[in-house]
Amino acid sequence: MTGQLWGVGLGPGDPELVTVKAARLINAADVIAFHSARHGRSIARSVAAPYLRDGQLEEHLVYPLTVETTDHPGGYQGAMDDFYADCAERLAAHLDAGRDVVVLAEGDPLFYGSYMHMHKRLADRYPCEVVPGVTSVSAAAAVLGRPLCERDEILTVLPGTLPPDVLAERLAQTDAAAVMKLGRTFTNVREAFELAGRADEAFYVERATTADQRTMPLSEVDPDSVPYFSLALLPSPINNFVAEGTNMEASAVGGSVTVVGLGPAGPNWMTPQVRSAIAQADDLIGYGPYLDRLPDRARQRKHGSDNRVESERAAFALDLARKGSRVVVVSSGDPGVFAMASAVTEVASEPAYQDVEVVVLPGLTAAQAVASRVGAPLGHDYCVLSLSDRLKPWDVIEKRIRAAAAADLAIAIYNPASKTRTWQVAAMRDLLLAVREPATPVVIGRDVGGPEEAITVTTLAELDPAQVDMRCLLIIGSSTTQVIEREAGRLVFTPRRYP
């Protein structure tokens, strides 16, 4: 007859959170095994101490290294594999002698725990049972008083040892998250939350449920003070306090509408303020391709539509808000530049929607994005014009082009062409050539920030309308705009000093 092996979870640190079954097994075991670093202090043993009895054998399993380097031929992993193999044989000797062995584990034995290394090596040779424990994630949510997740929300648990960009991608795509294994990884973890635009929603919890417990917003933590036994928690966005500046509070009717700018392309162009607002929303409304940029979350509803129904989209958003929903209306670039902010505020000014809260959050504009790719062509006075005659007649556009040209402004041209509008670029070019030099610099930016990004620098005389479509933005230089060819790369800029 061999002994029985038990993997016993002790919970997050408070001895009173040890389960009744765990306490009984600890007290009855012949052998108590526990891990520690080389300093010899075992958190697991200290938690289990109230349940130990005299006469029990103890197996102190001391890690040969934690984060240090090693001259082991197999490197860090090789040294640890040898250590776990040795520990397993030490425990096997007791089991072969008929002694019951309890391996203590902080939290839950099979949740980032060292016990699992014993389980993999011994469970097929001896009777074995695992006793679950309260995880540090559950404890952190409890001490913060914040629900982890509700309804169909998704909770993601991540190790802080992942690269910041990988962590950021996962954090951006989930509702709630816990990031384990902090300590030396903390700086990278906080960077990941910032990259994901969710740092303002996150909390730091250290040694939850113990006398040394510490909690605070993640952004306020001193990286040099972070121990391994800590985690970063992103609670359920449904119950998050509103991040400063997002103003997602419910209005008098119970809901709100926030109009946001996603920037010109992917997540790297989106502001943290906008990310926070999107994470807290119940309903997301916008042009279908813009909504496709955002991750699907089980608790959120997406309402995509055609790009020519701005007023209807605005009314739909305001109606949802009147029913209590937190609504986010998305635009590409900045919502106040030829986008949804104007449509929403216009409809919200109607008597039926006087009591609905409307907030506009800015985004990086397409004009800024294209300008940044070549230097600073908008470095002095400039104007922004749309060539679309869908909502205003061409004669108005023509007057404004002439006025901007006469004022010697650099011009950012939005909506230059589409499948059904193919003549406006040539007409604009001819109007400008009447008053500007043929060598005036022109920048064509296409899909900036996207997979098909292309930047072309040409002149007004050589501007080819066939190169321009709806995914392009044009920048027409002023009389002072310069194109400088350099060994390190071409620069286009408009000096801040005017002759």
DSSP 291-354: HTTSPP-TT-EEEEE-TT-HHHHHHHHHHHHHTT-EEEEEESB-TTSSSHHHHHHHHHTSGGGT
The alpha carbon torsion through 398, 446, 470, 367 (nearest 10 deg) reads -50
> In sequence order, which ranges of 154-235 are alpha helices (DSSP H)?
164-172, 186-195
What pLDDT digit, counting tens, does each position of 308-328 carry?
A: 788 999 999 999 999 999 999
Model confidence at 91, pLDDT cuts 50, 70, 90, reads very high
Model confidence at 196, pLDDT cuts 50, 70, 90, reads confident
CATH ID of 5-133, from 3.40.50.2300, 3.40.1390.10, 2.60.40.10, 3.40.1010.10: 3.40.1010.10
Kindly report the number of other CB atoms within 10 A of residue 462's CB atom.
10
Q: How far apart are CA 444 and CA 432, in angstroms?
A: 16
What pLDDT digit, counting tens, does each position of 249-298 carry?
A: 445 557 999 999 999 987 778 888 898 888 889 999 999 999 998 888 77
What is the second-level CATH architecture of the domain 367-493? Answer: 2-Layer Sandwich (3.30)
Residue 241 has pLDDT above 50, yes or no: no
Q: Which of 237-241, 267-271, 369-373 has the lowest mean pLDDT?
A: 237-241
User: Do 5-133 and 367-493 agree at the fold level?
Assistant: no
Q: Name residue 117's amino acid.
A: H
CB distance 395 to 362 below 8 Å: no
Residue 44 has pLDDT above 60, yes or no: yes
> In sequence order, which ranges of 135-237 are alpha helices (DSSP H)?
136-144, 164-172, 186-195
What pLDDT digit, counting tens, does each position of 126-179 carry?
A: 999 999 999 999 999 999 998 888 877 889 999 999 999 999 999 988 889 999
Q: Please check whether the domain covering 137-239 is classified as CATH 3.30.950.10.
A: yes
Which of 127, 87, 110 lies closest to 5, judged by CA? 127
What pLDDT digit, counting tens, does each position of 476-499 carry?
A: 999 999 999 999 999 999 999 988
Residue 332 has pLDDT above 60, yes or no: yes
Sign of the Cα torsion 237, 239, 242, 247 reads positive
CATH code reported for the domain at 256-361: 3.40.1010.10
Residue 50 has pLDDT above 90, yes or no: yes
Domain regions of the chain by residue span: 5-133, 137-239, 256-361, 367-493
Residue 73 has pLDDT above 90, yes or no: no
**Is beta strand 454-459 parallel, antiparallel or unpaired with respect to 441-446?**
antiparallel
pLDDT at residue 480 in the model: 96
pLDDT: which is higher, 109 or 270: 109
Mean pLDDT, range 405-418, rounded to an integer: 95
Model confidence at 77, pLDDT cuts 50, 70, 90, reads confident
pLDDT at residue 70 in the model: 81
**pTM exceeds 0.75, yes or no:** no
CB distance 273 to 300 below 8 Å: no
pLDDT at residue 67 in the model: 67
Q: How far apart are CA 92 and CA 230, in angstroms?
A: 33
% of the chain with per-residue pLDDT over 70: 96
